[in-house]
Amino acid sequence: MNKEIKTCLFCQTENEFQVDVKENKGLPSQDSGFYQCRQCGMELPDKHPNDRKPKVKFFVKAFWLIVIFCLVMVIYLPR
């Protein structure tokens, strides 16, 4: 069981809940999870626009693509 914090898009309140990855495939468990914000009652988003993970994921892919391109150009281009 992992603890996950999701921020409400409306009121910016951080909501913490337990995630049971094995049984619920990454979804919050029914007994301890919050599907709605504790303060305003809005439904919590699956992916928050300010999350860092998608940005880092894209950066790593772009970085390695540029590294491979540079290595190919160093080998391919005549000196």
Q: What is the pLDDT of residues 10-57, one digit of tens each?
A: 888 888 877 665 655 555 544 444 478 888 888 887 777 777 777 889
- The single-letter code of the amino acid at 29 is S
The pTM of this model reads 0.46
Expressed as residue numbers, the domain containing 69 is: 2-76
Please give the residue that has the higher pLDDT: either 18 or 7.
7
Dihedral sign for Cα atoms in the order 34, 37, 42, 48: negative
Q: What is the pLDDT of residue 30?
A: 47
How many separate domains does the chain show? 1
- HSE (CB half, 13 Å, CA atoms) of 45? 13
Residue with tokens 């996950």: 4
Q: Locate the DSSP E strands across the chain.
A: 2-7, 14-19
